[in-house]
Structures are given as C-alpha cells and as structure tokens.
A and B are shown apart, each in its own frame.
Chain A
Amino acid sequence: MSVTDEILVSVKGVSRFYGDLCAVNNLSFNIHRGEVLGLLGPNGAGKSTTIQMITGNLAPSFGQISINSIDILDRPKKAKQHLGYLPEHPPIYKEFTVDEYLRFCAKLHHIKHSERQEAINIAKQRCSLNEVGKRLIGNLSKGFQQRVGIAQAIIHSPPVVILDEPTVGLDPIQIREIRSLIRELGEDHSVILSTHILPEVTTTCDKVLIINKGSIVLTETTEDLQKRMQSSSLFVGFHQAPNAEELHKFAGVDSVSTTKEGYFRIHHNPDIDPSEQIVLKSVEQGWRLIEIRPEQLSLEEVFVDITTTEEHSSINNDDVMVEAVYS
C-alpha cells in the first residue's frame, strides 16, 4: 500500500443547505491515490450528504468538488467515469439475475463489448459471487445483495470507490472478506468508507475524518488516532491493598479511584508514567501486586469525546480545517 501525492478527490469549501438547514458546512479535504479514508460521524452529521455530493447525486450549495482533477459540476459525465459508488441501500434491480444486472452496470459505465464479460467475471470473483450469477437478485440474502452492490461499484475498476456502510447485513466471515477487499482496493484506488462500525476504521483505513453537525471535527491518520487512544490511566490490583492516599503520593498521579476491593484506577500525567515506581514500591512494602496495565481508550470513547464536547470541536475546527486543506 503506497499513498502517492496524486490527489484523486478534492473537496474545497463545500456547503450544502436544505432550506435553512445547513447539512454540510464548509468542508474541505483531499484524498490521495492509494488511500482509504474512513468517514465517521453520528447520525445526521452530514456523512451521506457529503458522499452524495461527491458522487454527483446532490449539487453543493457552495464550493468545489473534483474527481481525478475533473470538476463534477462542470463535466459530470467525465468525472463520474472515475467513480464507483455503493449507496446505503444497494441500487439493485430485484427482477434481474446477478449476471444481467452486472452486464447492465458494465454498459452504463461504457465498458467495451469485448471487455465486458472479463470485467463481470473479475467483479464477481472479487465479491465471491461466482455461484449466484444465474440467480435472481431478489431471491438472494441481504449479504449477497450487498455484495452485488459492491460488485457494481468496482466493475469498471474506477480510481475512486465510495462505499456507504458496505458491511451492513453481512456475516462475520463476509465482513472480513469485504474488509480485505477494501484494503486490496486501497492499494491502487482511493476508497472512501462511511461506517458506523468503529473498529472497521482502525483495521481498514489509513486516514479518519470525523464529521459532526456538518463540519470536520477531526482528520487524522489512523496511526495518530491510535496514539490518541493511548490514554493516561493505569489499572492496578493488590492482594494487600494500600490506602488510596498512598498511591496518590507517586509522582504524576492526578487522581485515584477505587473500583472494587483492592483494585484502583490511577489517572496520571501523560508525560510521567508511574507504573515502574508502583511496582518497586509494591515489592518494598509487600502490597502483593497482582495486576497492572495501562488502560486504552477505545475508538468509541475517542469518538464520543470528540463529537459530544461542543467547545472542543469548535475550537479545534479551524486548525483541523487548515490542516486538512494543506495536508
């Protein structure tokens, strides 16, 4: 996987209003070739609106969107050739068989007659649809329909693939397959992945974009996000527990709370890790340490933290925006 400098999707100062309601407010970001971008946000944050604007289903009220340096408003047909899109509900014709449907999609995307069968076969193989080619889409299970939707999005091997909640309704094995497919696509395409499932982001995406109330509240690489998740608390347990005050005396400790008999949660200054001191002291004092581990914030907690603290988000907003544009 190599992220190159080539920008495939560029969103500049895009806003969208529904009447007076501002669904997306001055959004800017770029996606490079070979990058998988995870789009996160609570319900009604503007994820779908953003995606619909990028795919040309909605026109932005302000701002500019270009795909592979082609403006989607000026030359929509040309720009859309570089796009593959799986909406939230897979756009499938239930009365068609999988093969017929994919043939129609291939035609829609101007795939030449001689290459059509090949393209259909590759798409089917990538989404493991080989056995169901002759079956009616309406008779397939939700998971298979979802995969047909994905096959439709990648049939013309577009440089930019946009998937809106692609793993909904799939079983765990299929989810793993789809995730590895997304990683595979991410090698030479750009992928935008909108999802509610947070672990999906850490396993499949290179970069995370969190939107709340129509504005970007965070753009970070997944690695940085992982670091952010390293929190500053320790979980310790003793057989012969000391007083909480004793633990408070260690350098860097901010607060100590008891969870149950003999177990404590110690919040400390992120720069000073008191764990070594605690272990030494425990041996010295005979506290009989039985457990000590750094606690990691889950992505959920980070997400909730970012999207619920109003002040935090509005302060960070401008910095992030600038960073997003020039990154």
Chain B
Amino acid sequence: MIITIASREVRSLFLSPLAWSILAVVQFIMGYLFLGQLDLFLQIQSQLLAMNEAPGITEIVVTPIFANAAMILLLVIPLITMRLISEEKRTQTLTLLLSAPVSITEIVLGKFIGIMIFILIILLLMALMPLSLLAGGTLDYGMAASSFLALLLLLASFASAGLFMSTITNQPTIAAISTFGLLLLLWIVDWSADFTEAGSVISYLSLLNHYRPLLEGIFKSSDIIYYLLFITTFLTLSIRRLNADRLQH
C-alpha cells in the first residue's frame, strides 16, 4: 500500500514539468561547479605532487561538490515537498486516501518514500559526475560513499521537514516558504551559538554540524542517529498532524 502511494507520487511528479525542470537546473548547476572544481584540481596538481600527504582528487573535487549540493538542494527540496499533502488538501483528493482502507501512517510513509525516490534520482545523476573521474584516475571510495550517505541523510531530513510543513497548510507556497525558513534556520543556527550560554546545545541542533564530518569521511554513529531521529520526528509529527484534522479541536 505504501508502495502504491509512493509510485503514484513519483508518477505525478514526473507528469508535471516541475520535476523535469528541477532535475535539469540542478544538474546544470552541479555540472558547472564540478567543472570549476576539476579545473582547480588540474591547476594545483603540480603543487600537490610536491606535498607530503597531499589531498586527493576526492577531497578536492568530490567533497566540495557535495557541500555545495547541500546548499543548492536546501533551496530546491522545499519546492518539491510543498505539494505533497497541501495540494491534495486543496484539490480535495486527500479524501480519496482518507476514505480508502489505508492508515494515515501508510499515507505519510508512502508520500515520504515517493519523494525519496525522486531525491535518489537527483543524487544518482549527481554521483555520475565524480564517477566519471574513474575514466582517468581512481577515487577514495570510502570517502565518496560517506559523502553520498551524508547528502542522502541530509536530503531525507529536508524532505521529512518539508512533508510536515505541507501537512500544516493547504497553500503549497506557504509550505515551501516555511520549509525553507525552518531548514535555513537549522542550517545557520550554530552561527550565533558561540555567543550564548546554551551554545553547545543549539549548535548540536544544527544540520550543518552533523553534515560536515560525514562529508569529510568521519563516520560517527551519533551523526547518523541525529539524522534518523530528525526524520522520525518530522514523520511522526506529520502523522499526528493529519490525524488531528479528523479530531475535534
């Protein structure tokens, strides 16, 4: 049942021009960044050869690409999650799901998995660029995989927050703006953390603080757990939110 809802979500996404244009724009920008990074590597290659323990191509090309991708997708993910529930509320198609023998948990998980399939497509297209380097060299696979995992977890967190925001309103644009606001706040929350007493707690909440180590190949289970908790929290909130619509306030 979850799969049915997820596959409908993916179909609907690809039936609208939105998904295609997002894929195209993201791919274009990432391609540009990739080429820039590659140029930089070629320029400093001779200096690197002279260095002891010089950073490899993975660190110079792949890691920055994924770091920039997170910023770009922070802008893009709200646009694809905004419609998830709010559009169905607005066109009153949510009734179809709510009166079918499907639980609200299944609806929310189905939507989430649907959007994750789309995100995986973005990620795989993006991963093709570093992988193309294999034609002329070799990569630090462990590090590349860690970067990939980091971005996947980060985007899943973005998507779960976007899904929750989409359950709150029936205006997709409001869902997009609030998702963007929330994510950006969580991204930059550690900037001001140094000046306050609760600094360490606040900076622990920052999405960025858990992203960077993973990206650099430092695999800490606490970071993974942070993301999993983040995703579970927002999915649970979405389920509760949809349930609350049925109940009396």
Residue of B nearest to A80 (CB): B101
Contact in complex: B92, A87 (CB < 8 Å): yes
Contact in complex: A76, B103 (CB < 8 Å): yes
Contact in complex: A77, B246 (CB < 8 Å): no
**Residues in chain A near residue B100, CB distance under 8 A:** 80, 105, 108-109
Task: Decide yes or no: A57 and B249 within 8 Å by CB, A95-B12, A108-B4 being known contacts.
Answer: no
| C-alpha spacing A77/B248, complex, angstroms | 20
Cβ of B118 to closest chain A Cβ, rounded Å: 15
Residue of B nearest to A106 (CB): B4
Contact in complex: A18, B8 (CB < 8 Å): no
Cβ of A219 to closest chain B Cβ, rounded Å: 25
Task: Decide yes or no: A91 and B101 within 8 Å by CB, A59-B246, A104-B8 being known contacts.
Answer: no
| C-alpha spacing A16/B248, complex, angstroms | 8
A38-81 at interface with B (beta carbon < 8 Å): 55-59, 61, 76-78, 80-81
| C-alpha spacing A76/B100, complex, angstroms | 9
**Residues in chain A near residue B15, CB distance under 8 A:** 95-96
| C-alpha spacing A80/B246, complex, angstroms | 15
A83 at the interface (CB under 8 A from B): yes
| C-alpha spacing A105/B100, complex, angstroms | 8
| C-alpha spacing A152/B249, complex, angstroms | 31
Interface size on A, residues (CB 8 A): 33
B1 at the interface (CB under 8 A from A): yes
| C-alpha spacing A190/B99, complex, angstroms | 17
Selected contact of B95 from candidates A19, A87, A107, CB within 8 Å: A87
A110 at the interface (CB under 8 A from B): yes
A324 at the interface (CB under 8 A from B): no
Task: Decide yes or no: A77 and B96 within 8 Å by CB, A19-B249, A104-B4, A107-B4 being known contacts.
Answer: no
**Residues in chain A near residue B5, CB distance under 8 A:** 108
Contact in complex: B92, A77 (CB < 8 Å): no
Contact in complex: B248, A95 (CB < 8 Å): no
| C-alpha spacing A110/B98, complex, angstroms | 14
Cβ of B98 to closest chain A Cβ, rounded Å: 5
| C-alpha spacing A94/B12, complex, angstroms | 10
**Residues in chain B near residue A105, CB distance under 8 A:** 96, 100
**Residues in chain A near residue B247, CB distance under 8 A:** 59
Cβ of A52 to closest chain B Cβ, rounded Å: 8
**Residues in chain A near residue B1, CB distance under 8 A:** 107-108, 110
**Residues in chain A near residue B101, CB distance under 8 A:** 76-78, 80-81, 108-110
| C-alpha spacing A16/B92, complex, angstroms | 21
Selected contact of A57 from candidates B16, B91, B95, CB within 8 Å: B95
| C-alpha spacing A72/B102, complex, angstroms | 13
B93 at the interface (CB under 8 A from A): yes
B18-51 at interface with A (beta carbon < 8 Å): none
| C-alpha spacing A87/B94, complex, angstroms | 11
Selected contact of A80 from candidates B11, B93, B99, CB within 8 Å: B99
**Residues in chain B near residue A93, CB distance under 8 A:** 8, 12, 93
Interface residues of B (CB under 8 A from A): 1, 4-5, 8, 11-12, 15-16, 91-103, 246-249
A to B CB contacts below 8 Å, 6 in the list: A55-B98, A77-B103, A78-B101, A108-B1, A108-B5, A109-B101
